[in-house]
Structure 1
Amino acid sequence: MRLLITMLFVIFYMRLLAISKAYVNVALNKPAYQQYPYIPGDDRYDASNAVDGRKSDLSMNSGQCAVSWYEQTATWWVNLTRIHSIHHITIYFMTNNDDSSFRSYIAEHLLGFSVYVSNTTDRSQGTLCFKDDNFTIHTIPPVFTTNCFVHGQYVIYYNERLPGVVYPDDYYRYVDILLCEVEVYGCPETSFYGSNCSIPCPDVNCQYCHIETGTCQGCKPGYQGHRCVLACNKGLFGVDCNERCGQCREIYQCHHIHGTCSTGCAAGYQGAMCKTGCDKGSYGLECKETCGHCRDINQCSNVNGSCLTGCDAGFSGELCETRCNNGSYGFDCKEKCGNCREIDQCFYTNGTCLTGCDGGYQGYLCKTQCDRGSYGIECNETCGHCRDVNQCSHINGTCITGCAAGFEGDLCTTRCDNGSYGFDCKEKCGNCREIDQCFYTNGTCLTGSEGGYQGDLCKTQCDRGSYGNGCNETCGHCRDVNQCSNIDGICIIGCAAGFEGDLCTTQCNKGSYGIECNETCGHCRDVKQCSNVNGSCLTGCDDGYERDLCKSREYTNTKAKTKLATYYYKKEYLKK
C-alpha cells in the first residue's frame, strides 16, 4: 500500500513539474507572516523560510522551514504584493526528512488544514481553494498541490482545533505551522492566460481571465457584465463597479473607471472625486463660501453653510451672519442687554456695556443695581440721609420713603434750618440758649436751655417756685407763687405781705410791713422786731401801747386818757 502511494506521488510530482515549467512561482521571496512564532526573532523558524526557494532539508532546525508554537489556531500567509492570476499552489510540509517520522509525529498537527486566496489578509473575504476533510496521518502527502484558478494577492494557510469541536482520532489537540516551502504558480501579469501566460484575455475590458480557458473572471475598473462590455451604471465606478461616485455636480459626469467628476463637485465637496467635504469653515460650490459665526465651526454645513448646532454668541440667522440687534446679545440673541449708558454700546457677544452703565447700575453687564447707600453713574454717588437706606433710589438718589430725622430735600442732604428739627424738619426747636445749638435730628439743646425752661428739648417751663437758667433760681415771696415768672423770677401780681422789689426777695424796710410794705409798724418796744409781714411787735409794745400792732394807747383813768389824747392830737395834727 505504501509503495502504491509513493508511485502515485512520483507520477503526480512529474506531471506537476511539467506544469510548473509553464507558470511562474509568484510567491518566491515575497513578504510572509505567521501567527505565534516558535522563537520570536530566531530566523531558523521565520515565516519567510517558506518562500525562500530552499527545500533541500525539511527538518525543524534546518533554517529552511517556517515553524510556529502549537496553539488552537495556526495562520500563515504570503503577500504576492499585487493581484496575480493563480493556477496552482504547492506546499512542502516539514518531514524531518523521514516519512515515518512525518506520519508518526508531524502529520497529526497538519490534518484539517485550509488554503485560501484573498485580496486581503482576511481569509473570510477570499476564496477557499482547499479544505482537508479526508486526509489521515497515513494518506496526507508530504508535498501537497491544489489547483486554484482564481486571482488574488494573499495566499493563506490556516488550521484550527477549536474548543467544543469533536475532531477525528488522528487529529492532534493543537495545531502549528510546519511549512518548509509554499509555491504559488501563476501568471506574473494579469490580462493574460495560457500555459505560457502569453495569450491576452479575449474580452478587451477583461482584467482577470481564467488562466487556462481565458473566460473573463473580472472586468477592468469601470466595466461590468459577462463580456465586460457594459460601463458601470450611473453613480458607480471602479472594480466590479463597487465604488460609489462622489458628490459630482452632475451625476452623469462621474467617470465610470476612476470616478472623477468631469464638471466639478456639487456644493460642499472638493477633490477630483468630490468625496471630500469642504475644509472646516468653508462651504458651497468649489468651497469658496466662508461659514458664518457657528457655535461649532465643525458643525457648519459644507453644503449650504447653515450652522447645525446654532450660532455663536452674538449672531443669528441660518448662516449666523447677522449680528444681534441693539438691546440683545448672546446665543441666539436671546439675552437682553443690561442698563448700558448707550444701548448701541452693548457688546453683541457677551453683553458687556462698552461705555459703562446707566445711572444706578454696575458690573460688566450693568444688570446689578448699585450697592445699598450708593447711586448714580458708576454708583459713585452716596445716598443722603434717607429714613430707610434701602429706599434710596439707585438711579437718582431720591429717598422714596422720606428723609431721616434732621434732613430735608429730595436727596435728604440738606440739614434742617435753625429752629427746626426731626422728620421732614416739621418739629420746632424749644427754648435753647443758642438757637443754632438745637440739634437738627432730635431737637436737643446742646448748650442748654434759655432761662425759664428745662429738659433736653427746653420746652418745659421751670417747676413752680423756680426760674432762670437751668431753673436753678428760686422765686421770691410772690403774692401767688404760680405767678412767679419762670424766666426772670418777677412776681407778676406783686409781692406777698412783708416783701418788696421785682423779685419780692427784699423785706420791708424797718418800720413798715404788709402788702407792698405800705403799712407802718406800731409802737414796738424794738422797732426791728416789727413783723414785716403783719406788723406785729414780736418783743412787745412800747410803754403806753397795747395789742399786737402796738398802735392802741393804754389809759389808767379817764383824766389821764383825756390828757394823753390831747397830747397826741397836738403832736400829730397841730404841728401840721
Structure 2
Amino acid sequence: MMSLSGHSVYPHDVLTVLLCLLTVSQAYVNVALNKPAYQQNPEPGNDTYDASNAVDGRKSDLSVSGGQCASSYPRQTATWWVNLTTIHSIHHITIYFRTDNEPWGPSNENTNFTLGFSVYVSNTTDRLQGTLCYKDDNFTLDTIPAVFTTTCPVHGQYVIYYNERLRGVTYPDGYSNHVDISLCEVEVYGCSATGYFGSNCSVPCPDVNCQYCHIETGTCQGCKPGYKGHRCEITCEEGTYGTGCKETCGQCRDVNQCSINNGTCLAGCYAGFKGDLCEIACDRGTYGYDCKETCGHCRDRYQCSIVNGLCRTGCGAGYQGDLCKT
C-alpha cells in the first residue's frame, strides 16, 4: 500500500494516518464550503461542470456527469480558485480528484491530466503573489492519490489550484499534453475567525496587536493595521498608517490626528482638501477648509488657490482685491 508521498507503508500505519487526519479535520472548519469559486476555460452555460461544484460539500459521485465536480476544457494551463471572502488562517487543504468512479491509477485517464499540479494560498487571485503550498514533482501515474492532503499553515483569502503544460518544456513520462480542471471537492480547513490559533481555534494570538498568527504555534504572521515589528510592538510613525505602516496619510489639518489604523483625519483636512482621508483636492471654484468657500471673480478660474482663494492671475473685469470679490 502506498502513502501520499508514494512510499510503502503498512496497513496499521495507514489507519494511524487516517485517524490523525480525521481528528485534525474535525478540529478545524472547512472555510471553503459554499464560497465563490472560479475556473479557467469553463464550458459556457453548463452548470454540470461549474467551478462551484468543487466547494459544495458533495463528493459521493466523482464522475464528470454527476454534477458534483468542476471540469474544464483541456488547455495549456488550468486555474481554479475559491474565494474565502476574507483572510483566514489555514491549516491544511484536501483535494478530491475526479475519478469518474473508476479505479485510480495508470488505467484512469484523469491521472495524467493531474500530474504536476500546484496549490497556492494568496490574498489576491494572483497565485504568484501568494504562498506555494505544494508543487507536485514526485508523483507518477502509480503513486498519485485520488484524495490529496497538504498542510499549509499560512493565512490568505484565495486557495488556488494550478497546472500547466507549456510549449517547449519537456515533462516526465505519463504527463498529458494538456491540462484541465478535474476537481470534485476542495476542502480548506482552518479557523473561521482571525486572531486565534490552536487545534480548535480558541487561543488568542499571543501578541496583542497581531491579526494573523501561525495556526499551530501562535507566531505572528501579520500585524493589525497601524502596527509593525516581529511582535507588532511598534506603532506607525507620524504620517503613516495601515498594514505594515506602508500607507501615507493625506493632507490632514493635524498630522498627529491621522488614524494609524485607516488613515482617517480625525481633526479634519488641511485647507484645500476634503474626504475622510483628505486626499481629494477642492473642486474647481471652491477653496478653504472642507472646500466650503467659493472663489471670487478670478480672471482665470483655474488660477484660484484651493488653499486661500487668491486669484493668481488677477481679477476679472469689474472686480478688485486679492479674492476678487469686491
> Does the pair score TM above 0.5?
yes
Q: 2:292 aligns with which of 250, 274, 288?
A: 288
Deviations 1:362-402 (A, max 9, x none): xxxxxxxxxxxxxxxxxxxxxxxxxxxxxxxxxxxxxxxxx
Shift of 1:193: 0.7
1:28 aligned partner:
33
Taking a change above 3 Å as real, the CA distance of residues 283 and 88 of structure 1, as seen in their structure-2 partners, is: same
Query: For residues 140 and 305 of structure 2, what CA distance do their matches in structure 1 show?
Result: 64
Q: SS of 1:12's equivalent? A: helix
For 2:33, give the aligned amino acid. L
Deviations 1:148-168 (A, max 9, x none): 111111111111112222222
Q: Do the aligned partners of 2:28 and 2:189 also contact (CA within 8 Å) in 1?
A: yes
For 2:88, give the aligned amino acid. H
1:318 aligned partner:
312
Q: SS of 2:276's equivalent? A: coil
Q: How does 1:84-483 map to 2 (within 5 A)?
A: 84-100=88-104, 104-291=108-295, 293=298, 297=302, 302-303=306-307, 318-323=312-317
Query: For residues 88 and 125 of structure 2, what CA distance do their matches in structure 1 show?
Result: 15
Unaligned runs of 5+ in 1: 307-316, 326-576
1:536 aligned partner:
none
Shift of 1:271: 1.8
Query: For residues 196 and 304 of structure 2, what CA distance do their matches in structure 1 show?
Result: 51
For 2:127, give the aligned amino acid. R
Query: For residues 275 and 79 of structure 1, what CA distance do their matches in structure 2 show?
Result: 31
Query: For residues 58 and 9 of structure 2, what CA distance do their matches in structure 1 show?
Result: 25
Query: For residues 248 and 24 of structure 1, what CA distance do their matches in structure 2 show?
Result: 43
Deviations 1:280-330 (A, max 9, x none): 321233213334547575x76544657xxxxxxxxxx615434389xxxxx
% identity of equivalent residues:
64
Taking a change above 3 Å as real, the CA distance of residues 53 and 294 of structure 1, as seen in their structure-2 partners, is: farther
Query: For residues 188 and 284 of structure 2, what CA distance do their matches in structure 1 show?
Result: 49
Q: Do the aligned partners of 1:209 and 1:215 also contact (CA within 8 Å) in 2?
A: yes
Taking a change above 3 Å as real, the CA distance of residues 91 and 320 of structure 1, as seen in their structure-2 partners, is: farther
Q: Does 1:61 align with 2:65?
A: yes
Query: For residues 103 and 9 of structure 1, what CA distance do their matches in structure 2 show?
Result: 23
Bigger radius of gyration among the two: 1
Q: Does 1:75 align with 2:79?
A: yes
Deviations 1:537-571 (A, max 9, x none): xxxxxxxxxxxxxxxxxxxxxxxxxxxxxxxxxxx
Query: For residues 159 and 54 of structure 1, what CA distance do their matches in structure 2 show?
Result: 23
Shift of 1:109: 0.8
Q: Do the aligned partners of 1:95 and 1:102 also contact (CA within 8 Å) in 2?
A: no
Q: SS of 2:143's equivalent? A: coil
Query: For residues 111 and 79 of structure 1, what CA distance do their matches in structure 2 show?
Result: 24
Q: Do the aligned partners of 1:95 and 1:101 also contact (CA within 8 Å) in 2?
A: no
Aligned residues: 313
Query: For residues 6 and 171 of structure 1, what CA distance do their matches in structure 2 show?
Result: 29
2:23 aligned partner:
18
For 1:161, give the aligned amino acid. R
Taking a change above 3 Å as real, the CA distance of residues 164 and 295 of structure 1, as seen in their structure-2 partners, is: farther
Shift of 1:264: 2.0
Query: For residues 299 and 152 of structure 2, what CA distance do their matches in structure 1 show?
Result: 58
For 2:193, give the aligned amino acid. E
Query: For residues 36 and 9 of structure 1, what CA distance do their matches in structure 2 show?
Result: 37
Unaligned runs of 5+ in 2: 320-326
Shift of 1:28: 0.5
Deviations 1:484-528 (A, max 9, x none): xxxxxxxxxxxxxxxxxxxxxxxxxxxxxxxxxxxxxxxxxxxxx
Query: For residues 323 and 271 of structure 1, what CA distance do their matches in structure 2 show?
Result: 34
Query: For residues 300 and 56 of structure 1, what CA distance do their matches in structure 2 show?
Result: 71
TM-score by length of 2: 0.88
Q: Do the aligned partners of 2:35 and 2:82 also contact (CA within 8 Å) in 1?
A: yes
Q: Do the aligned partners of 1:55 and 1:180 also contact (CA within 8 Å) in 2?
A: yes
Query: For residues 22 and 16 of structure 2, what CA distance do their matches in structure 1 show?
Result: 10
Deviations 1:415-442 (A, max 9, x none): xxxxxxxxxxxxxxxxxxxxxxxxxxxx
Deviations 1:102-126 (A, max 9, x none): 6541111111211111122122222
TM-score by length of 1: 0.51
Q: SS of 1:323's equivalent? A: coil
Larger relative helix fraction: 1
Q: Which has the higher contact order (CA 8 A, sep 6+)?
A: 2
Q: How does 1:541-552 map to 2 (within 5 A)?
A: none
Q: Do the aligned partners of 1:96 and 1:102 also contact (CA within 8 Å) in 2?
A: no
Query: For residues 188 and 239 of structure 1, what CA distance do their matches in structure 2 show?
Result: 21
Query: For residues 154 and 67 of structure 1, what CA distance do their matches in structure 2 show?
Result: 19
Taking a change above 3 Å as real, the CA distance of residues 102 and 293 of structure 1, as seen in their structure-2 partners, is: farther
2:323 aligned partner:
none
For 2:140, give the aligned amino acid. T
Q: Do the aligned partners of 1:270 and 1:287 also contact (CA within 8 Å) in 2?
A: yes
Q: SS of 1:19's equivalent? A: helix
Shift of 1:63: 0.8
